[in-house]
């Protein structure tokens, strides 16, 4: 299909320093935890963006030497020749798709963790690491500042050796250049502190050092936090612009990658959809564009081509930057170019991708199960191998795993019937998307719905009610995928004790499950949310109830409500929300019993009350202490049980019990996917559906095929041992 | 020197299944985060224990297949031939020192994280992961149980290929075998659930499978949590013993590695010295020894040879197990054997080693700076290269970094003067060891004091007062190490705002620093501890005050008091302590001002009060909201400022300013180490002192030498690119 001419503007080439990008799509730096140590994964992941049409593709932050060490977080590195070789592989792949390769050179200063080198990190002043306040930055001497500038220059040379076209100096996210500029961090009194010009000196010298080291052959740009959003103590918009002016005056910066906020305020930049609509940084880029000679890159979870056109036409920026949109759909530009923007797999803004950075695991994406699997499993997001024998497949349940499995099976040429008991497809997401702030999560459904509609070999049957084992056996399908999902428990069992809570029974009017709430169950004025899950459901229920004017108390066993949202960058604003909506939280507490009645009482105990855990075995023997009966009685009208989920595996169990009948009914295999096998987060459930469909021809499709593990093997070449 | 005959019993050989260990020192499995992917680091680290006299040396937990995947935590793995090659290197090194090599085969069940494979983890029943309750175990079918037993058998074969002598089946720490045995996890109703015999079936079948796969050639033992310490809901001592009896009856287990507690109760097994004395598990091993035919291994931070003799002579166990003691001093057995037990570098029980597991970083040890550096930096804990030119060195300050630096310089043959202003050496540790529960941390001093005394080329001068730059310049030393440490700030500056708190001034009687408290400053009855540091100092002050009968409130910006102790396994018992000693905690709060007076008022604000952070930039522009003045006024008699430390760098700065005078005064170089360069945790400060001394001859000794990074290089052999 031809591209819609209204999107032509997005495909104009853009001059950027000594290079030309062939369109306006700029895949900005973001972490994926491949670093320089998994060259295959790194190259294939970044290369897929180039293949999908992004004309500039960047690494994540890339350390310039062991003096800036963020381990155990994974940065890329340009420390030595080995790193050059590994990143050279990435640039080769990116270049093979006619895109420019960028590297983001990084010196973290007092924000780096320093746990591989064991060395303290150097900054403008001495201050405690925001996240590990036991360790402090060292306040550099001027000689040490000069050393750091030399490290930048040396890394720039290695970057050129590695084949990069573009060097981005990270001066956002509280890293070193902005530490010098921001009076928040910079308490110096010498030529690098005090006046604005003095505080700007280091950053300008960095840009100069990079340019000098690469002799004008490479693009030198800067990622700038145009406003740290910490008020007059830090960099505000006018300060950011003043820096841009200074650098422009000296012609030191070929382009500006604009963002906002700080390292610990990251969630105000990579805004989760719970709190931020997409296209929210026009206010930040437009004034930069007004003074910059070179191009300006805007981010803000832009997935709509119409928004993108507006960015360009309103003069907000020259490039459409994308981190999360390029993860969810590396082919985003190509899909616009090919006149099929409706096929874009839009980011839902859940930030599970970012959560993996904090956890130390590989990046993963709720929408795109192939992210980071391009190399190790050989998965391409848009290319699917044809089924070896395209048999008929019945998929029971159109929740996240079932939809994804049916979609991929369909693309592979199977004859698929996707059957959903309810009137609409989507499973648990139909509820979740109605939790406050989570509307965009509905894209999990809308994307798959639109794709399924295009597949002539997939029939979607809705409102068919629950299928029995007999229904399945008699259906006539050769293979059966069970994707019946999970439900919230009605008995209060949770990980706290792995036992039901006495008195917990959501069939009573005084207690509810989240599903019952979303189905409209009436609750009174005072609600207790019992949340052991710690992610979005408990706060979803609490906020929904608070918005309905109820008085809400959350009882949670963790140190804080919704602890997992700390990793998804929602945490700070979730805490603000709880505070502003006057939702009371009882951390480190759980319910030992619930008494339902006219007034319902939750007997809440502190996990650290005497005797709850037996602390001190002695040589004389274990001393089993009775837990004290110290409790806080919380009165309410309804208790919402966000305690644990339970897989809906009755159908699976029934079919497995009748395995002997499969063959006679023409069934070759039955395959569980997603929550009915084991409840899990959406990303993992969708991944499971995808994985099964990719490997559906394998003799043992239930067991995932091995994937490539990039690791050194001891003496492999010199002294093979096996 | 000859071994003291009273320790002879420790050096008796012990038969263990088909093998014989040459003494009673058993280096038990523990994590170091090298896994199978850093074969050089792994082999050198474990090999050092063998060299130091441990007759059995084990890996950490070792995954038997991608079906049990704990990523992002690092386990060893025996998934494929590459892992076999890598671990074979470890067994070769261990064997070269005449020790047995053990591997701990692991299937985590519902406790594993599963983030490399993306697969759900299988357990006896379905339950939420204790640490990530959004993801659940899958309740295995019987067919799936048989598959897992096959995985164990296959991994056992690979273990034999890799050269291991001993296979330890981990059935402690809530991992799969104990999940089946424990009614807490096992809710099955088939032949694998219900009765004790049914619940024991899986574990026994595992042992059988391992034995069958290795044909009696290898030791098959089991690490058993003899008591889960969760009361009648789980495995209690009598249940554990009943399992031992069952396995003994069938002759399935060659040896027992006894421990106690659960995964989340790990801190009750690897007990920090804050709460546990060493030699605390006699009650757990003795009854096992009474019924086991094979040897029994006892752990419990055993570092005293007299305690060890008691373990053997009282019939508590056959082997002295050591994880932390073998990290702090791999040469522990050899030092006893050589008649110099006073040279043992005893573990202080701080559990910084374990904290690195949770953080995802390499293991590190406060006492032993060479741990994990054996391969990558080539450091041997007991062998030191002679100084190239053994000049005279003045070390100013005998805190952790200064003591360690002087010790290593002394061992290398330098002529060292270690000068301490105070009457005794030890620096900040002199205070810390007097915080409640931290007496054993004093070993940081006593070990170094005893070692320094033996070095004829090291003079220790105490009580010499502060040295000025003139003193140093005139001292006559060729090189100068500055190790003047750090002090707690008096102005309340912390990472929260990087600004002094209005009204905070510890020179006033109503406010104190931790040093002032330890020096005996009088405070009244009501004390506020303002703790931004989040580790041991804040709770140290709070507990000290509570023990003195004061009413204590902690104000902390994090979600909980002393968040870092969660990583050191102190966390749960710290929370119990706070609860039991009635120390009030205000999480997510900080002080905006302090008004000192007859009654002192701390104006505490919630970090999530309206406007404290600017959340939502809009296209219309940043909206700078004024922080609300919502505060909680906390009245007290004294405020202890645990807000941040400040390096004592006046001397360093003065000397650097007079660099031009160095040569004339015969000074070749001035080198800062430890907290005076940048404050940090003890482990990193001691590491710094050690590192400098190791590399003191280098032309640029201030900059650490590069270390070996084990990582794959893309196509290195097939297609070199540089």
Q: Domain locations in chain A?
A: 5-359, 392-468+648-694, 488-646
Q: Measuring CA to CA, how many Å separate B588 from each of A264, A501, A698, B291? A: 15, 30, 52, 52
The pLDDT of residue B614 is 56
Could you count the other beta carbons within 10 Å of the beta carbon of residue B524?
15
The answer to whether A64 and A155 have CB atoms below 8 angstroms apart is yes
The answer to whether A204 and A252 have CB atoms below 8 angstroms apart is yes
B456–chain A nearest CA distance, Å: 30
Q: Indicate the angle between helix axes A400-411 and A682-694, nearest 10 degrees.
A: 30
Which residues in chain A come in under a pLDDT of 50? 619-622, 624, 717-722
- Interchain CB distance below 8 Å, A39 and B615: no
B248–chain A nearest CA distance, Å: 23
Distance CA B640, CA B542 (A): 9
Angle subtended at Cα B679 by Cα B678 and Cα B680, rounded to the nearest 5 degrees: 115
Q: What is the mean pLDDT of residues B594-615?
A: 87
Over 90: is that where the pLDDT of B231 sits?
no
Distance CA A599, CA B140 (A): 41
- Interchain CB distance below 8 Å, A126 and B647: yes
Sort A150 into a burial class: Cβ within 10 Å, 0-12 / 13-18 / 19+.
middle
Q: Measuring CA to CA, how many Å separate B592 from each of B495, B508, B604, B632? A: 13, 18, 6, 10
The pLDDT of residue A509 is 98
Q: What is the third-level CATH fold of B488-646?
A: FAD/NAD(P)-binding domain (3.50.50)
Give the number of A-B residue pairs with CB atoms closer than 8 Å: 358
Q: What is the pTM of this model?
A: 0.97
Partner A contacted by B617 (CB < 8 A):
yes
Question: From the list A43, A283, A535, which residue is nearest B620 (CB)?
Answer: A283
Partner B contacted by A549 (CB < 8 A):
no
Hey, CA dihedral for B629, B631, B635, B641, is it positive or negative?
negative
Q: Taking CA atoms, what residue in B is nearest to A286?
A: B619
The pLDDT of residue B628 is 75
Please, which pLDDT band fits residue B618 given cuts at 50, 70 and 90? low
The answer to whether A396 and A481 have CB atoms below 8 angstroms apart is yes
**Strand, coil or helix: A283:** helix
DSSP lists the bridge partners of residue A104 as A61, A168
Question: From the list A576, A713, A720, which residue is nearest B86 (CB)?
Answer: A713
Partner B contacted by A520 (CB < 8 A):
no
Distance CA A696, CA B291 (A): 51
User: What CATH class is the domain B5-359?
Assistant: alpha beta
Partner B contacted by A229 (CB < 8 A):
yes
DSSP lists the bridge partners of residue B417 as B394, B459
The answer to whether A178 and A171 have CB atoms below 8 angstroms apart is yes
| Chain centre to alpha carbon of residue B513 | 27
How many CA atoms are closer than 13 Å to the CA of A472, on its beta-carbon side? 34
- Which residue of A656, A711, A716, A719 is the best one to mutate when testing the B interface, meaning the one whose CB has the most B CBs within 10 A? A711
The pLDDT of residue A622 is 46
B563–chain A nearest CA distance, Å: 10
Question: Which parts of B399-557 are beta strand (E)?
Answer: 415-419, 458-461, 479-482, 486-488, 511-512, 526-531, 551-555
Contact residues, chain A, for B573 at CB < 8 Å? 615
How many CA atoms are closer than 13 Å to the CA of B25, on its beta-carbon side? 30
* Lookup: tokens for B25: 């020192």
Parallel, antiparallel, or unpaired: how do β-strands B600-606 and B632-636 relate?
Answer: antiparallel
pLDDT, tens digit (0-9, with 9 covering 90-100), for B278-322: 999 999 999 999 999 999 999 999 999 999 999 999 999 999 999
Tell the residue number behind the tokens 């929602």, with chain if given: A570
Partner B contacted by A310 (CB < 8 A):
no
User: What CATH class is the domain A392-468+648-694?
Assistant: alpha beta
**Which of B476, B472, B447 lies closest to B332, judged by CA?**
B447
The pLDDT of residue B131 is 86
Question: From the list A137, A617, A713, which residue is nearest B678 (CB)?
Answer: A137
* Lookup: tokens for A549: 């004017």
The answer to whether B483 and B677 have CB atoms below 8 angstroms apart is no
Q: Which residues contact B570 (CB under 8 A, 6 or more apart)?
A: B267, B272, B274, B275, B351, B562
Q: What is the mean pLDDT of residues B126-153?
A: 96
**Which of A163, A144, A245 lies closest to A202, judged by CA?**
A144
The answer to whether B37 and A711 have CB atoms below 8 angstroms apart is yes
How many CA atoms are closer than 13 Å to the CA of B575, on its beta-carbon side? 24
Over 60: is that where the pLDDT of B616 sits?
no
The pLDDT of residue B487 is 98
Over 90: is that where the pLDDT of B566 sits?
yes
- Interchain CB distance below 8 Å, B133 and A276: no
**Which of A272, A344, A336 lies closest to A309, judged by CA?**
A336
Partner B contacted by A188 (CB < 8 A):
no
DSSP A698: S
Over 70: is that where the pLDDT of B615 sits?
no
Q: Which of residues 405-464 of A touch B (CB under 8 A)?
A: none
* Lookup: tokens for A359: 């956890």
The answer to whether B365 and B58 have CB atoms below 8 angstroms apart is no
The answer to whether A576 and A606 have CB atoms below 8 angstroms apart is no
Residue A466 backbone dihedrals phi, psi, to 5 degrees: -70, 140
Over 60: is that where the pLDDT of B613 sits?
no
Reply yes or no: is the peptide bond before residue B254 cis, omega within 30 of 0: no
DSSP lists the bridge partners of residue A640 as A512, A529
The pLDDT of residue B612 is 67
Q: What is the mean pLDDT of residues B246-268?
A: 95
Q: Which residues contact B547 (CB under 8 A, 6 or more apart)?
A: B436, B581
Please, which pLDDT band fits residue B721 given cuts at 50, 70 and 90? very low
**Which of A261, A456, A257, A443 lies closest to A344, judged by CA?**
A443
Distance CA A596, CA B187 (A): 27
- DSSP letter string over B259-302? EES-STTGGGTS--TTT--SS--HHHHHHHHHH-SS-EEE-S--
* Lookup: tokens for A251: 């012609």
Distance CA A271, CA A267 (A): 5
The pLDDT of residue B232 is 86
pLDDT, tens digit (0-9, with 9 covering 90-100), for A75-111: 999 999 999 999 999 999 999 999 999 999 999 998 8
């Amino acid at each position: 299909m031809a591209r819609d001419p209204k999107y032509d503007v997005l495909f104009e080439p853009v001059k950027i320093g000594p290079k030309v990008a062939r369109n306006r799509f700029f895949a900005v730096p973001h972490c994926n935890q491949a670093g320089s140590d998994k060259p295959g994964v790194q190259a294939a992941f970044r290369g897929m963006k180039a293949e999908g049409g992004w004309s500039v593709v960047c690494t994540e932050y890339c350390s310039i030497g062991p003096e800036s060490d963020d381990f155990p977080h994974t940065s890329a590195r340009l420390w030595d020749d080995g790193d050059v070789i590994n990143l050279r592989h990435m640039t080769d792949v990116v270049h093979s798709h006619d895109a420019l390769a960028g590297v983001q050179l990084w010196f973290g200063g007092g924000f780096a963790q320093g746990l591989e080198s064991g060395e303290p990190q150097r900054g403008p002043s001495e201050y405690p690491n925001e996240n590990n306040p036991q360790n402090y930055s060292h306040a550099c001497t001027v000689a040490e500042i000069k050393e750091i500038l030399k490290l930048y220059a040396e890394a720039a040379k290695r970057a050129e050796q590695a084949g990069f076209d573009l060097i981005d100096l990270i001066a956002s996210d509280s890293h070193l250049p902005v530490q010098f500029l921001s009076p928040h961090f910079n308490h110096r009194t010498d030529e690098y502190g005090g006046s604005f010009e003095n505080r700007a000196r280091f950053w300008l010298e960095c840009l100069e050092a990079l340019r000098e080291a690469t002799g004008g052959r490479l693009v030198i740009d800067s990622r700038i936090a145009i406003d740290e959003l910490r008020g007059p103590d830090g960099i505000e918009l006018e300060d950011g612009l003043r820096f841009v002016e200074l650098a422009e005056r000296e012609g030191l910066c070929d382009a500006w990658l604009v963002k906002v906020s700080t390292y610990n305020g990251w969630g105000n930049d990579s805004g989760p959809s719970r709190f931020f609509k997409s296209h929210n940084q026009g206010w930040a880029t437009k004034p930069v564009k007004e003074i910059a000679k070179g191009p300006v890159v805007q981010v803000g979870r832009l997935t709509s081509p119409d928004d993108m056109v507006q960015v360009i036409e309103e003069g907000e920026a020259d490039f459409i930057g994308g981190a999360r949109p390029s993860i969810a759909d590396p082919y985003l530009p190509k899909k616009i170019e090919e006149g099929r923007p409706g096929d874009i797999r839009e980011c839902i803004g859940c930030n599970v991708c970012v959560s993996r950075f904090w956890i130390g695991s590989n990046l993963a994406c709720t929408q795109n199960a192939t992210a980071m699997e391009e190399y190790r499993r050989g998965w391409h997001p848009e290319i699917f191998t044809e089924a070896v024998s395209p048999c008929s497949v019945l998929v029971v349940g159109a929740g996240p795993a079932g939809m994804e499995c049916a979609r991929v099976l369909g693309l592979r040429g199977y004859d698929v019937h996707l059957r959903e008991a309810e009137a609409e497809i989507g499973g648990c997401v139909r509820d979740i998307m109605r939790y406050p702030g989570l509307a965009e999560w509905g894209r999990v459904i809308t994307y798959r719905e639109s794709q399924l509609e295009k597949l002539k070999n997939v029939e979607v049957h809705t409102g068919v009610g629950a299928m029995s084992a007999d229904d399945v056996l008699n259906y006539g399908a050769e293979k059966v995928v069970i994707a019946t999902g999970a439900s919230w428990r009605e008995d209060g069992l949770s990980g706290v004790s792995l036992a039901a809570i006495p008195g917990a029974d959501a069939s009573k009017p005084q207690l509810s499950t989240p599903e019952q709430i979303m189905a409209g169950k009436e609750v009174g004025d005072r609600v207790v949310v019992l949340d052991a899950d710690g992610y979005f459901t408990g706060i979803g229920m609490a906020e929904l109830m608070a918005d309905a004017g109820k008085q809400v108390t959350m009882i949670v066993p963790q140190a804080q409500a919704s602890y997992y949202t700390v990793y998804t960058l929602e945490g700070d604003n979730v805490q603000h929300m709880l505070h502003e909506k006057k939702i009371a939280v009882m951390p480190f507490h759980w319910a030992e019993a619930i008494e339902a009645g006219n007034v319902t009482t939750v007997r809440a105990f502190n996990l650290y009350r005497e005797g709850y855990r037996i602390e001190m075995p002695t040589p004389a023997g274990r001393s089993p202490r009775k837990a004290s009966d110290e409790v806080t009685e919380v009165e309410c009208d309804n208790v919402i049980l966000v305690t644990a989920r339970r897989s809906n595996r009755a159908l699976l169990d029934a079919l497995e019990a009748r395995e002997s009948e499969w063959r006679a009914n023409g069934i070759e295999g039955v395959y569980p996917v997603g929550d009915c096998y084991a409840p899990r987060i959406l990303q993992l459930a969708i991944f499971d559906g995808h994985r099964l469909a990719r490997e559906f021809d394998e003799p043992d499709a239930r067991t995932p095929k091995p994937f490539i593990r990039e690791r050194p093997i001891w003496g492999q070449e010199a002294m093979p041992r096996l």
